[in-house]
């Protein structure tokens, strides 16, 4: 028979019991892992997991969603807001999770956050990436009137569920809003063609619309082999090497930036059909949702490039960002 007895007194003396309960509750209720899978992820036996889950319910940490925030996560959030000039940081506990599960955890938090921001008449600009793609699954439905979604990126000829404009389309479809898109490839063959396309009346109007958005939700990419922009073939692999040589650390809306968030001098930046990060300066809420330690430098650059107000990330990225910034 499984041991479902209350937590022992010694458990409550452990400094990490609260955080472990939160992690167990997150994995079981949000990620929908089985109790055996939760036990393996946390390195515990199943009876301990059962006790942790029971205690989480009894203490009100789990209702419809997970209400409690681990003290470690709160400290990371406070450190991020102080160090990077953010108005808000949301750090998701993902210790022991694979990168794929970490992305889904951050995506869930992003979907919940976005659901709370949606209201009548809002205009939202959307980027792309795996995290944003998965975030759509965690949106909460309600009827929204007169809302508008704007895709901030061009498209690819071989489109898929995670292609640049797909997130915007999925968001508009979910809330049944109007959708505005950049009807051109995200990268065109020459700077001259890019300039000519931006001169088209409808494209110029879309740029103006992007500058007047109420909220922007975007992700950032790094220059690793896992980066979507190279893995999907938007740019060739050898372009990453030349971008690194030019000082780039990642991309924001397919614009490659250095560690300070400045657009680097590189041909790829002259051929991109996407809203320039600097043109979003007047947007009152810019949200970056990205995770993973390998993206830490790119996230820092993305915050600088857009002057983001909110960051939704995981604990590994948060700690890596603070290490890079020299913050304990």
Collect all residues with Cβ–Cβ distance below 8 Å to 32 and sequence separation of at least 6: none
71: number of CA atoms within 13 Å, CB side? 5
pLDDT digits (tens, 9 = 90+) for 195-240: 999 999 999 999 999 999 999 999 999 999 888 888 888 898 899 9
3-state SS, residue 173: helix
Stretch 254-268: mean pLDDT: 97
**pLDDT value of position 94:** 87
Residue 299 has pLDDT above 50, yes or no: yes
Q: What is the pLDDT of residue 2?
A: 41
pLDDT band at residue 12 using 50, 70 and 90 as cut-offs: very low
Distance, in Å, from the CA atom of 308 to the CA atom of 316, rounded to the nearest integer, reads 20
Higher pLDDT, 30 or 110: 110
pTM of the model: 0.79
Confidence check: pLDDT of 25 > 50? yes
Q: What is the pLDDT of residue 46?
A: 86
Q: Are 271 and 194 in contact (CB under 8 A)?
A: yes
The SS3 assignment for 271 reads: coil
Whether residue 91 contacts residue 73, with contact meaning beta carbons closer than 8 Å, is answered with yes
Residue 306 predicted with pLDDT over 90: yes
Parallel/antiparallel/unpaired status of strands 255-257 and 250-252: antiparallel
C-alpha to C-alpha distance for 156 and 233, rounded to whole angstroms = 10
């Amino acid at each position: 028979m499984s041991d479902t007895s209350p937590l022992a007194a010694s458990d409550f003396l452990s400094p990490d019991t609260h955080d472990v309960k939160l992690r167990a509750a997150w994995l079981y209720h949000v990620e929908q892992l089985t109790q055996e899978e939760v036990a393996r992820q946390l390195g515990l036996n199943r009876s301990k997991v059962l006790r942790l889950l029971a205690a989480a319910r009894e203490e009100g940490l789990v209702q419809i969603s997970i209400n409690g925030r681990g003290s470690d996560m709160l400290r990371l959030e406070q450190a991020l807001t102080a160090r990077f000039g953010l108005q808000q940081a949301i750090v998701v506990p993902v210790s022991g999770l694979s990168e794929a599960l970490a992305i889904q955890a951050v995506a869930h938090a992003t979907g919940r956050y976005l659901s709370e921001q949606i209201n009548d008449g809002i205009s939202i600009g959307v980027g792309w990436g795996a995290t944003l793609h998965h975030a759509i699954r965690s949106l909460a439905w309600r009827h929204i009137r007169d809302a508008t979604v704007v895709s901030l990126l061009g498209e690819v000829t071989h489109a898929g569920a995670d292609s640049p404009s797909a997130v915007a389309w999925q968001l508009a479809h979910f809330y049944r809003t109007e959708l505005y898109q950049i009807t051109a490839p995200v990268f065109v063959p020459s700077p001259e063609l890019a300039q000519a396309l931006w001169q088209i009346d409808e494209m110029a109007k879309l740029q103006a619309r992007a500058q007047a958005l109420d909220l922007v939700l975007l992700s950032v990419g790094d220059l690793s082999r896992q980066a979507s922009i190279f893995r999907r073939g938007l740019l060739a692999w050898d372009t990453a090497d030349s971008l690194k040589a030019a000082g780039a650390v990642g991309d924001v809306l397919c614009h490659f930036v250095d560690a300070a968030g400045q657009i680097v001098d590189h041909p790829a930046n002259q051929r991109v059909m996407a809203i320039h990060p600097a043109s979003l300066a007047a947007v009152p809420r810019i949200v970056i949702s990205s995770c993973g330690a390998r993206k830490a430098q790119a996230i820092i650059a993305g915050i600088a490039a857009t002057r983001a107000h909110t960051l939704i990330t995981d604990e590994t990225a948060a700690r890596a960002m603070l290490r890079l910034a020299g913050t304990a």
